[in-house]
């Protein structure tokens, strides 16, 4: 992962034209349906769910020779995948951003799978976020990466492990809670993480702020269990400077900085694996997510 050049981590404001309609040359949004179940319930009831998928301009499902990086993207509370991608056939500020970044070669063409931690069998948002990884690994990824042309040559455990350097996970607010959980428990399948406007809840709600040292230590313990090294992951976290999540996220990042056997804070990922981006003039909203994605994605898929 350290064999290429990385842009510096410092915040840059996205150009306004990147957030506007990009004309006829753009990616498209489609719907992906799948089935899941309650992995902690008492029965095997099957539930129907969906994700929204961004496919970059020029994506050809019949082109067996072309492979794409993939970003799994998850929303915050009281939202759905539409918060990012609008719906089938839609164009949003997020798709405008992706179109522009690809066109201007800030990132390689990628597929985005906007997923949801909401479900029919549980109304506990915290539980859903911390348990989402089972749905992701067992139900979403095998079907999704079989249908779309990611770098997974086989959609089994080995295939996902071998292609982890072409896969990122990101989420906003409650979706950031999911992202930290995926970092701790699915590092064998993901190399890159962009938690936005949210802290890790492994030790309880907003524990990144109330128990930052213990939270950072818990994350480090889970990462060390995997056997992966400092050079095998990148975490580009972020929030707005007036974000309600900042008082919980920043203490956690400060605590993570102390654990230099697992996390190396850096201004460029050639020198480490952790950074916190504070977006000026941003709060707890879609604008912040857009600005963090603009800054984070080139560090992953540039």
Assess if residue 214 is contained within a domain.
yes
Residue 6 lies in a domain: no
Q: Which among 183, 234, 225 is positioned nearest to 208, based on CA atoms?
A: 183
- Give the CATH number for residue 111: 3.40.50.1820
Residue 143's nearest CA partner among 120, 121, 166, 113 is: 113
On whether residue 1 sits in a domain, the answer given is no
Domain membership of residue 3 (yes or no) is no
Domain membership flag for residue 10: no
| Structural domain boundaries enclosing 141 | 16-301
- The predicted-structure confidence for 263-273, as pLDDT tens digits, reads as follows 999 999 999 99
Is 5 contained in some domain? no
pLDDT tens digit sequence for 148-185: 999 999 999 999 999 999 999 999 999 999 999 999 99
The phi and psi torsions of 186 (rounded to 5 degrees) equal: -130, 30
Model confidence at 88, in pLDDT bands (50, 70, 90)? Answer: very high
Whole-structure pTM value? 0.97
Instruction: Using alpha carbons, select from 241, 263, 258, 106 the residue that is nearest to residue 180.
Output: 263
Per-residue pLDDT band for 42 (boundaries 50, 70, 90) equals: confident
In a domain, 4, yes or no: no
Number of domains the chain contains: 1
Residue 59: how many other CB atoms lie within 10 Å: 18
| Position 24 pLDDT exceeds 80 | no
User: Is 240 contained in some domain?
Assistant: yes
């Amino acid at each position: 992962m350290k064999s290429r050049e990385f842009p510096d981590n410092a915040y840059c404001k996205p150009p306004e034209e990147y957030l506007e309609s990009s004309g006829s040359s753009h990616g498209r949004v489609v719907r992906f349906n799948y089935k899941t179940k309650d992995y902690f319930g008492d029965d095997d009831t099957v539930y129907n769910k969906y994700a929204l998928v961004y496919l970059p301009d020029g994506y050809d499902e019949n082109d067996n020779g072309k492979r794409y990086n993939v970003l799994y993207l998850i929303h915050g509370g009281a939202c759905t995948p539409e918060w990012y991608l609008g719906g089938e056939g839609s164009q949003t500020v997020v798709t405008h951003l992706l179109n522009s970044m690809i066109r201007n070669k800030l990132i390689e063409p990628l597929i985005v799978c906007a997923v949801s931690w909401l479900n029919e069998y549980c109304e506990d948002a915290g539980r859903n976020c911390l348990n989402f990884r089972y749905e992701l690994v067992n139900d979403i990824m095998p079907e999704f990466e079989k249908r779309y042309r990611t770098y997974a040559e086989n959609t089994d455990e080995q295939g996902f492990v071998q292609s982890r350097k072409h896969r990122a996970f990101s989420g906003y607010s409650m979706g950031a809670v999911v992202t930290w959980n995926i970092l701790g428990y699915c590092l064998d399948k993901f190399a890159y993480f962009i938690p936005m406007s949210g802290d890790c809840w492994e030790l309880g709600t907003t524990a990144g702020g109330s128990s930052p040292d213990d939270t950072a230590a818990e994350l480090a313990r889970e990462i060390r269990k995997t056997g992966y090294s400092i050079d095998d992951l990148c975490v580009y976290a972020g929030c707005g400077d007036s974000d309600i999540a900042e008082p919980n996220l920043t203490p956690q990042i400060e605590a993570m900085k102390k654990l230099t056997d697992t996390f190396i804070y850096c201004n460029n990922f050639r020198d480490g694996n952790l950074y916190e981006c504070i977006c000026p003039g941003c709060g707890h909203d879609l604008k912040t997510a857009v600005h963090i994605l603009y800054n984070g994605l080139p560090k992953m898929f540039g």
